[in-house]
A = this chain, B = another copy of it.
Amino acid sequence: MKLAEFELIERLTRGLKPNEHVTLGAGDDCAVLDLGVPGQEVLFKTDAVVEGVHFTRDACFQRVGRKALARCLSDVAAMGGRPSAALVTLGLADDYRVEDLEALYEGIRSLASQYGVAVVGGETTRNPGGLFVSISLIGLVPKGKSARRSGAKVGDAIFVSGRLGGSMDGKHLDFEPRIEQGSWLCECHAIHSMMDLSDGLAGDLRHILKASGVGAELFARSIPVSLEARRRSRLGEGAKPALLAALTDGEDFELLFTVAARDAVRVLDSWKSRFPEVLLSCIGRVLEGAGLRIRDRLGIRELNAHGYVHFSES
């Protein structure tokens, strides 16, 4: 479904016409608009979570609401921006429970308050199949400073924040959007490309590579594997190897970015002193060509779209 989805979107969004306000249209974490705010551009984003797809009826609705907004905040972070205002669209099943919606809103409201986001309205309608929650978000980013997927350059060092894999144990609901880090990176450093990790490192890095027309090599031993991924890997026969989980589990909502090799040490050092509580790892480098490879103790191997073939055997 995933690949078909990307193809579908590409087909639908082909040939969309910009206007004088559009700095960056479809295809990145947010759209970027120049509406005339002095020194700033406007980020515009929408994201949805759906019952039966992203959560079930017995979910904690407060966490579902929090996640719905947090996903959008993560996209604003990935552009180096700060969020400003959100709208909430609710599609309600006929048998919705008011207390679920209140919990959902409480989750949205409390995260919004934490990040200074104003919830300025929305839309409520029926959706016979179950609850549909869509968040639209406006943010601001210093003009010309927004981080794109398309700027990676040959020789760049590849960085990722946090630890990857095993997000389904809870982090996918409770992750902290990297607003401070993303904004700091774009203001203080010459970031070449950035995005947030939602589908897993092995898949998401390909978006940067494709948009930038480059390839990459990852260092297996540098990839920050989460405790949850390690724990799950020890659950016996058929358990997912921890590195594979870190490459493919998805919903990490960490920042993936590239900077010129000459800036790598400075970025790493200043990150450590600025955000000592959040791990930053240099996990690879950008290469000429189009492939994605991974280097481990056995050598260098091609990484396929979801990393499965090689690693499920290792």
Contacts and interface: CB of A to CB of B under 8 A. Distances in A.
A309 to B, nearest CB: 26
A11 interface: yes
A110 to B, nearest CB: 11
A33 B123 contact: no
A35 B35 CA distance: 9
A260 interface: no
Contacts of A47: 89, 123
A126 to B, nearest CB: 5
Instruction: Name the prevailing secondary structure of the A interface residues.
Output: mixed
Interface string A97-116: 01001100100010011001
A5 B123 CA distance: 10
Contact of A120 (B33, B120, B123): B33
A1 B28 CA distance: 39
Interface in A13-59: 13, 15-19, 21-22, 24-28, 31, 33, 35-38, 40, 42, 44-50, 52-54
13 contacts: A11-B98, A12-B101, A12-B102, A13-B122, A17-B112, A25-B121, A35-B138, A36-B38, A42-B138, A44-B120, A48-B123, A49-B125, A138-B138
